[in-house]
Amino acid sequence: MTTAGTLETVSENCSHGGVQGVYRHASASTGTQMTFSVFVPPHEDGAKLPVLWFLSGLTCTHANVTEKGEFRAACAEHGVIFVAPDTSPRGEAVPDDEAYDFGQGAGFYVDATQVPWAQHFQMRSYIEQELPALLAEHFPADMQRQAISGHSMGGHGALTIGLRNPDRFRSISAFSPIVSPLNCPWGDKALGGYLGDDRSDWREYDACALIEDGSRHANLLVDQGTADNFLEEQLKTDLLVDACKSADMPADIRMQPGYDHSYYFISTFMAEHVGWHARHLQG
């Protein structure tokens, strides 16, 4: 029987001189089996390597970025471990919704408080506490050198987790993130469903609100495509620009002409993000 802290190896493949693995374990946070991927680049025996977390978007699993993200060459070059968790608990006993933007595949990286979601949808605790402990136990990870990134819903996760834990994550980046769930339909549905109607409870899961409420980080990089069909209604990058400007918080927020919401966009800039994080993870 698999217990928390014990890993089952689903697959391991050699890549760029390192090992791309997929692993499964019984999660105490979600009460389910959880699957995640880890790329460990080539390294000397006994070496501890910095860690880059990547949180994926709506409908995704660990597999989307693992198969399409094109991160391994850059991670091998810079000596960075790349970790890709799933986006939610899964299984027959886990509540779900018929829509793609709520339920399984749409955990929004929150700790749910509402029935029936609270029993399993504890993704904040899973990402911030349980999975890092598992990583430190089983992989050559230097947990004093961590960075975080993500896409769309996962960009929201990276921004909020990074802003809440600035001493843990040396740098934060995002691709087409949901910057303010308080101000978009995806956020209204997800945070209302998982956390209830009191919108003050949502603020710790909203990057712009966190900045307004005093959270700061010195190293923030965001890339957003101008041809992204979710930009105006859901992502609203301009709100993050305004929040950073009002707080006098430095941020490199770049609008990339012609790029959409897909992994063609992410993979184009992924190596640059890995290298940017690697510079902040040195030493």
Residue 120 annotated in active site: no
261 is catalytic: yes
Domains observed in the chain: 8-281 (3.40.50.1820)
Three-state SS across the chain? CCCCCCCEEEEEEEECCEEEEEEEEECCCCCCEEEEEEEECCCCCCCCEEEEEEECCCCCCHHHHHHHCCCHHHHHHHCCEEEECCCCCCCCCCCCCCCCCCECCECCCCECCCCCHHHCCEHHHHHHHHHHHHHHHHCCEEEEEEEEEEECHHHHHHHHHHHHCCCCEEEEEEECCCCCHHHCHHHHHHHHHHHCCCHHHHHHHCHHHHHHCCCCCCCEEEEEECCCCCHHHHHCHHHHHHHHHHCCCCCEEEEECCCCCCHHHHHHHHHHHHHHHHHHHCC
Active-site pick, 86, 206, 223, 228: 228
How far apart CA 23 and CA 4 sit, in angstroms, is 13
Question: Which pTM does this prediction carry?
Answer: 0.97
The tens digit of pLDDT for each residue in 126-137 reads 999 999 999 999
Q: Which amino acid is at 140?
A: P
The pLDDT, as a whole number, for residue 4 is 43
**Of the residues 62, 156, 217, 261, which is catalytic?**
261
Nearest alpha-carbon partner for 65 in 47, 83, 41: 83
State the chain's mean pLDDT as an integer: 97
267 is catalytic: no
Instruction: Retrieve residue 248's tokens.
Output: 């006098």
> Could you report the per-residue pLDDT of 206-225, keeping only the tens digit for each?
999 999 999 999 999 999 99
Select from 152, 151, 154, 149 the least CA-distant residue to 172. 149
**Contacts of residue 226, Cβ cutoff 8 Å, sequence gap at least 6:** 255, 256, 257, 258, 259
What span, in angstroms and rounded, lies between the C-alpha atoms of 5 and 17?
27
Catalytic residue, from 27, 152, 173, 176: name it: 152
**Residues 53-85: pLDDT tens digits?**
999 999 999 999 999 999 999 999 999 999 999
User: Could you read off the pLDDT of 236-257 as tens digits, one per residue?
Assistant: 999 999 999 999 999 999 999 9
The pLDDT tens digits of the residues spanning 10-61 come to 999 999 999 999 999 999 999 999 999 999 999 999 999 999 999 999 999 9
